[in-house]
Amino acid sequence: MSNRRTFFKAAGATMLGAAAVSRAGAALLPEAASRDAATMLPPSTPPNGRPYNPVATLNGWSLPWRMKDGVKEFHLVAEPVVRELAPGMKANLWGYNGSSPGPTIEAVEGDRVRIFVTNKLPEHTNVHWHGVQVPNGMDGVGGLTQPHIPPGKTFVHEFVLQRPGTHMYHPHADEMVQMAMGMMGLFIIHPKDVRQLRVDRDFAFVMASYAIAPGAATPRTSEMTDFNLWAWNSRVFPGIDPLVARTGDRVRVRIGNLTMTNHPIHMHGPHFEVTGTDGGWVPRSARWPEVTTDIAVGQMRAIEFDAIAGDWAIHCHKSHHTMGPMSHDAANLIGVDQSGVAKRIARLVPDYMSMGSAGMSDMAEMQMPLPENTLPMMTGEGPFGALEMGGMFSVVKVRDDVRPGDYRDPGWFKHPPGTVASEYTVEDGDGVPRAPRIKADDRTLHVHKPGPHEGH
Ligand SMILES: [Cu+2]
C-alpha cells in the first residue's frame, strides 16, 4: 500500500502540466525524426541510457530520442502521411513522423520520458498513452485531463515509466475519424534488468482496419462495421514482413488491436504461450499452451514460442480478414451455371469474367483488371502455387542458419526430402489400405422415428 501511495504522491509532485510550449521553447525542441518507408528498420542497440533488448516493429521503426539531463526526450508529430499498404496500393492516412502507425516508442522501466507532440493535422488532436501508468493530467484525454492540442501547437508530456509492458498510443480526440485514418503506435517499456523476460527475437505490431473503396485512397472515416482492409502496422498481405528466426530461438510477438473488432490470431507449427497482456507479464505458472489467441478491441497480447524450422503461417482466423479489399457483398454463385449469361455480357463488356460458380479460388490465379490503386481480393504466390490470401497474413520463417540480428527474408523453406504432401497415385499404392466401397443401398440412413402414440 505504501508503495502505491509513494507512486501516486511522486507522480503528482513531479507532474508537469500538459501545456503548450512557448515560441521560445519550440526552438529548443528535440528534432522530430521522420520516415515514410514501409520497410523494417532492424532493431539497434540504444545509444545511451539504460540498456535494453529492442523490438522489431514489422514494416516499421522506433523513434530516436534525445537525452537531456537524464530525461529521454521524444518528439511526435501528428500529420497526414501516405502509406503503401502493399505493393500496388497507397493510402492517404494520418499518422506520426511520416508513417502510420507512428514509430514505436521504446524506453525502460524507471526512465523519465518527456514527449513533445506537435499537431500538423487540420484539426485538434492529443495522445493517450494506452496502458501506460501516468499521472492523470498526462493521460491525454482531450477535454477531460487536458485541453486538445490545436493545429500548429506543440504540447509536452512528462512521466516516469513504472512497469515493463507492451502498450500503445493513439488520439483521444475525434477518435473515430483519427483512428480510422491510422493514428496509432506502440509504446514498449522494457524491464530494468536486461536479463529479465529476455528472448532472441521480439516482434511487435498493432492491428488497424480501413474502409477504402476500390479505386480510392482515403479511408471512409464514418464506417462502423464494413471495413475491407485488415492491416498489421498498416500493411496487408503480401506487404507484411515475414517474422524471421533461427531454429530453437525463443520468439516473442507483441500484438495490439486498435481495429473495431476482435481478431483470433492463429499460428501454425510450434505451440505458443500467452506471456503478456495489457496489464503486464503473466507469471510462468499461469501460462498455458495455445495455437490461437483472441485479441479484443483495445487489447494487447504477447505470445512466445520456441522456433521450429519451416514456413509457418500466422494470420487472423476470421477468413474474411485474410482477404483483400474488393467488394464483400457479392452474390452467392456457388453451383450456378453462368456460361450462357457470361457470353452475352462479354459482348457488351469485353473484359467480363464470370466467377464464383465453383468457389472463389479462381480469383487468386486469374488476372482480372482491377481499378487503379486497388489490391486483389486474394493474391500471393508461394513455392507450390497461389496462396489465395490478403489482409492479416504473414509467415514465421524459421531456418537453421539465420544469424542473430538478421531479419532479411530467407526465401521459401527447403523441405527435407520426403516431407511434403504430394499427389497419391496407384503405383504408390502397394500396401496402402483403400477406402471401403459403399453400395448405393448402404448410403440410405434408416432412422426409427417415434410415432405420436409410441411408448404409451
Ligand atoms: Cu481478424
The CA 261 to ligand 1 mean position distance, Å, reads: 7
The CA 205 to ligand 1 mean position distance, Å, reads: 14
pLDDT tens, position by position, 182-215: 999 999 999 999 999 999 999 999 999 999 998 8
The CA 257 to ligand 1 mean position distance, Å, reads: 10
- DSSP strands (E only) in 15-174: 56-57, 66-68, 71-86, 89-96, 105-108, 112-119, 128-130, 154-160, 165-170
Going by DSSP bridges, is the β-strand pair 71-86/112-119 parallel, antiparallel, or unpaired? parallel
The CA 364 to ligand 1 mean position distance, Å, reads: 20
Identify whether the C-beta of residue 167 lies closer than 8 Å to the C-beta of residue 117. Answer: no
Pull the grid cell for residue 197. Answer: 523476460
The CA 215 to ligand 1 mean position distance, Å, reads: 23
Task: Write phi, then psi, for 395 (nearest 5 degrees).
Answer: -130, 130
pLDDT tens, position by position, 79-113: 999 999 999 999 999 999 999 999 999 999 999 99
The CA 95 to ligand 1 mean position distance, Å, reads: 22
The CA 258 to ligand 1 mean position distance, Å, reads: 11
Q: Which residues of the chain have pLDDT under 70?
A: 1-27, 326-334, 338, 341-342, 345-346, 349-368, 428-456
The CA 61 to ligand 1 mean position distance, Å, reads: 24
Identify whether the C-beta of residue 19 lies closer than 8 Å to the C-beta of residue 155. Answer: yes
The CA 57 to ligand 1 mean position distance, Å, reads: 19
C-alpha 6/C-alpha 283 separation (Å) is 25
pTM of the model: 0.84
Q: Give residue 17's pLDDT.
A: 43
- Which amino acid is located at 331 in the chain? A
Identify whether the C-beta of residue 396 lies closer than 8 Å to the C-beta of residue 243. Answer: yes
The CA 346 to ligand 1 mean position distance, Å, reads: 36
The CA 388 to ligand 1 mean position distance, Å, reads: 16
C-alpha 39/C-alpha 58 separation (Å) is 8
Would you give the distance in Å from CA 122 to the centre of its chain? 27
The CA 318 to ligand 1 mean position distance, Å, reads: 5
CB-side exposure of 309: number of CA atoms within 13 Å? 10
C-alpha 271/C-alpha 292 separation (Å) is 9
Q: Which residues surround ligand 1, an ion (CB under 5 A)?
A: 263, 316, 318, 321
pLDDT tens, position by position, 14-59: 334 444 555 545 558 999 999 999 999 999 899 999 999 999 999 9
Handedness of CA 422, 427, 433, 435 (dihedral sign): positive
The CA 373 to ligand 1 mean position distance, Å, reads: 23
Read out DSSP for 234-281?
Answer: TB-BTSSPPEEEETT-EEEEEEEE-SSS-EEEEE-SS-EEEEEETTEE
Q: Give residue 93's pLDDT.
A: 97
C-alpha 135/C-alpha 434 separation (Å) is 70
The CA 140 to ligand 1 mean position distance, Å, reads: 28
CB-count exposure of residue 363 (10 Å: 0-12, 13-18, 19+): buried
